[in-house]
Amino acid sequence: MPIASAALLARAMPSPEWRDLPEMCLSDLARLAELRSFTQDAELNGSIFIVLDGLIGSVRGVLSDRRAVTALFLRGDLVDLSATPKDDRDGLLTFRPTRALAFATSDFNAAMQQHKELALTVCANLKRQSFNLREHAAELFTKAPDQRLAAFLLWLAQISAGDQAQPGFELPMRRYDLARYLGMQPETLSRKIKTLTAEGAISQSSPSHLVIESRSALEAMASGLRRVA
């Protein structure tokens, strides 16, 4: 469904960088945007999205059982794979029920042409994403799997902190997808979680609900360099 007004769009926007765009720009975007809801495991394609809530993953080899999750798009992120070569190897998947604003690529580009503030905001967003990608790549091969897991859990606790006062948090994705994002096999991930609970660093009330018991233990585990034999 399209958005009624600039004010409504601003309310829907997940982060200030979007919300604070000029009135004119927001109303143009409102005219072009479509608010879409996706179930888990929905395949997204062909559009530009702004994530409102939920979690979208960029996966490599969607069909294969050997898929790689190359990036996570969180609330507030701009998702634009229009620069990606068109083949069937890349894809966007929702890892949980997700809502997003969808734009036709040409519409959004035209809006960027018109409103330089939009172009600047998109630039800033892309820079942040590039940073996260580099960070992720760095972790992928300076850290051992258990360190990556510890670092990821701390990161997750941080970004889902404001949500509620509860001590724990929900894993926003399946074990399988998480393993593929952290660059390991699901079995390995399972074992690592097991050892973390055994060491008392975390505890899990249900498979997807984790509680950090000892933040310091996790931190000690996360920051270390790669295994020293």
Binding-site ranges for a copy of itself (CB under 8 A): 58, 60-61, 64, 66, 68, 70-71, 80-85, 87, 89-90, 112-113, 116, 119-120, 122-124, 126-131, 133-138, 140-142, 183-184, 224-227, 229
CB of 123 to DNA, least distance (A): 35
Q: Where do the DSSP E strands lie in the chain?
A: 34-38, 43-44, 47-53, 56-60, 68-73, 78-80, 90-94, 98-104, 168-170, 202-206, 209-212
Q: Provide the binding-site residues for DNA, judged by CB under 7 A.
A: 41, 141, 144-146, 174-176, 183-191, 193-194, 204, 207-208, 226-229
Q: Specify the 3-state DSSP secondary structure of 103.
A: strand
From a copy of itself, DNA, none, which one binds at residue 97 (CB under 5 to 8 Å depending on kind)? none
CB of 182 to DNA, least distance (A): 9
From DNA, a copy of itself, none, which one binds at residue 124 (CB under 5 to 8 Å depending on kind)? a copy of itself
The C-alpha atoms of residue 14 and residue 2 are separated, in whole angstroms, by 17
Closer CB to a copy of itself, 57 or 168, in the complex: 57
List of residues 6+ apart from 136 with CB closer than 8 A: 71
- CB of 30 closer than 8 Å to CB of 4: yes
127: its two tokens: 């820079």
CB of 61 to DNA, least distance (A): 13
Closer CB to DNA, 134 or 227, in the complex: 227
* Helices and strands in the chain, H and E counts: 9, 11
Closer CB to DNA, 4 or 137, in the complex: 137
CB of 200 to DNA, least distance (A): 16
- CB of 169 closer than 8 Å to CB of 157: yes
Closer CB to DNA, 154 or 224, in the complex: 224
From a copy of itself, DNA, none, which one binds at residue 71 (CB under 5 to 8 Å depending on kind)? a copy of itself
The C-alpha atoms of residue 204 and residue 227 are separated, in whole angstroms, by 26
From a copy of itself, DNA, none, which one binds at residue 138 (CB under 5 to 8 Å depending on kind)? a copy of itself
The C-alpha atoms of residue 103 and residue 100 are separated, in whole angstroms, by 10
